[in-house]
Structure 1
Amino acid sequence: MTTATQTLDRAAGVASVSEMPAAAQRKIVFAAVIGNLLEFFDFTVYSYFALTIGRQFFPADDPITSSLLAFAVFAVGFIMRPLGGIVLGRYADRAGRKPALTLTIGLMAIGSAAIGLAPTYAQIGLAAPVLIVAARLLQGFAQGGEFGAATATLLETGGQKGRGFRASWQLASQGAAALMGSGLAASLGFLLSDETMHSWGWRIPFLLGTLIAPVGIYLRRHIQEEPPKAKAVAAKDDPKRGLYVRNWFLVIFSIMGMSVSTYVMMYYMPTYCIQYLGLPPKMSMLAGVAASTISLVMCPIYGAWSDKMGRRKPLTIIGRVLLIVLLYPAFWIMTHYPSLPAVLTALIVLMFCYTMGSAPAYALMPESFPKHLRAGYMSSAYAIAVSAFGGTAQLVAGWLIRVTGNKMAPAWYMIVCVLISLIAVSMFEETGNKTLD
């Protein structure tokens, strides 16, 4: 059976993507999110092995200083994101989603392989951290254009119904990637000795991550899409240009709270548990596993609900309000009762709220732009927001604790960011009941 919610492009001789069989649509959805999967898998393993990477490539007398340097290099990759978002996002709007998606995953794989194969500081000196920085810059450029093209593909594949469900897989894939990364890190922690892990075991996840790329390239090369159409109105003459620019800024601030929450709760939490709560490294990895599982399971559910209930409210707004209210109590419990059950319980509750406030927004934001501008606006806005707030979240969280001496500092930082994003998302027009161009 096929759906027929869009017309056949007779002139080009290509069927609309919405007329594909359901199996073909699922294949495109998987092709769209697999790049995001590789990106966040790499993020996860880098975050989980940041302490080891710090010692291998940024040796210092103080182990906290080494970890901060490792997180700083993690943040360096985000410098290239805005450039990648502008260049590759515009490329996706003009040349099509498929060539842009194929290019981004190839570049990301090269960067991941470079990190996994890089000689250490003890082997080649200063060239080692330089190589890691170069790999992160290449990944950052590719990742800057990945989000807009992939999200646009999810939104535009399959017709008007189910857009929220499809778009939510972009966020769910982050949970899947984090689950893969955290699960692999936890498994290696139990299977390998600490000495083996610090010597070469940490390289295994990065090298395995590169195996995702050939599958993604194969899938993306077989994506069928309608050819890009010429713009009906020049951008400078578009009467809605002001609205699009306004929405672009709203996307930046909406993603601000989402991004900081993601990187603190899903990626920084194992380091936080080890350094500040005194939990064993092997057990701390389970915190990331729990957060990732909730994200993977709940995002599609909330996305499907948004197709029936609406994007902006009640789900997105209520989810962010609950997250703001519960952040302080959750961190208070973790710091006053530093045990794995307390950490897991607090983190799971926070993740339920986070996914409720975030999954519907992955459809709300791109639906606020026309097709011929969607990938470009979303890529650039997402890249700027993630670069400014997501890429620095772990570094800022660690720095705030060090400066204030207060282990609750990350909670206050997250509260401020989520509050700003709540204001921004409340200013969007509801798009769940609208037909896209």
Structure 2
Amino acid sequence: MLARKGIIPEEYLVTRLVENDLSHPRYHAKTRKARFVTKNGGCNVAHKNIREQGRFLQDVFTTLVDLKWPYMLVIFTMSFLCSWMLFAILWWLIAFAHGDLDSRQDSVVPCITSITSFTSAFLFSIEVQVTIGFGSRMVTEECPLAITVLIIQNISGLIVNAVMLGCIFMKTAQANRRAETIIFSKHAVIAQRNGKLCFMFRVGDLRKSMIISATIQMQLVKKTTTQEGEVVPISQIDIQVENPVGVNAIFLVSPLIISHTISKKSPLYNLSAAGLQQEDLEVVVILEGVVETTGITTQARTSYLPDEIFWGHRFVPIVTEEEGRYSVDYSKFGNTVRSKTPLCSARELEAQERIQNQTNNGPNLQVSALRERKVSKTIDTPGGHTKSSVRFQSLDCLSDQESQEMIESRSLLL
């Protein structure tokens, strides 16, 4: 409005808008349709058009354990009802064939006493299988077939009890239940540690019972294209893990910050702050160990998308020493603070370090990890040659071409 009234020149406003936009860059993350691993550890993969469905029946026990609780309870109930009903029909047929249902034959010894209808046969079937034994109904020595059916029902009942109760026990004691108390930080961070860019996240265990032999694995999941043009929609690349205890193995008695140093072997080596938000990648984290109380192997998983990775942040300390013991404040578990971190990639950062090492013995030249604006001038020498003198102002990381030009300029000065 002021430009329209002639109070402020329009050229000045345009210049100020450009400067403000450059001084406060905004990175917009690409929209990702779906993530490979959800935040709570579930695998976001749908299996369709499976032709060999019979393979699931070859491992019935695992199939039953993998079912959801409503289906599991229905199968549990129906297995006993069907077993009782099947043998009730057999008992009724035996009584019918022997004439036990005819109340006029009081002088004949029945195969099963007190069986007068199908209802009484069903009750007798329940009494036999669950060994209730009320006493009014029983098998006599009159019919060997009845004794054989009694033995078969007892054995069948033991099998049904073992399978169904085993499924219920395994389902209640599943390893993923223990993983509910293993928590990961909602966001991961990238910051400098000992001069190196590091990818970090925090993990903790809420229970006092420990996870024995706990290990951490990390993978980078992204879409890649081979040199031959083949598109790999889900390419899994291993990421080396480092932590205060050692490589991979951790002692999870208190929350730990798991770190991955971004080196030449890292798949994040060429990733900068701006490039991170443009990448379609996902960092998957897997913690695996043995539950101390049950001895069952458990696994906890999570993942981080580009918009869940904070560049230039670090986690706040949450472990303090109070009254001779360590105290953990879980209210700050995922809190981060800003940290002075270059916006360039680890590759560009290492290039700056090489330049600085090569110029340590020359004239005073400050080479930072941020991009530097070049101002050149020529210096005449007694031999008639010219040398280039270069000054730098910190803005952003140098590119490879600028790094080479800087080295050549320094070599002329030396």
TM-score normalised to the size of structure 2?
Answer: 0.20
- Mark the structure with the bigger radius of gyration: 2
Higher relative contact order (CA 8 A, sep 6+): 1
More helix by share: 1
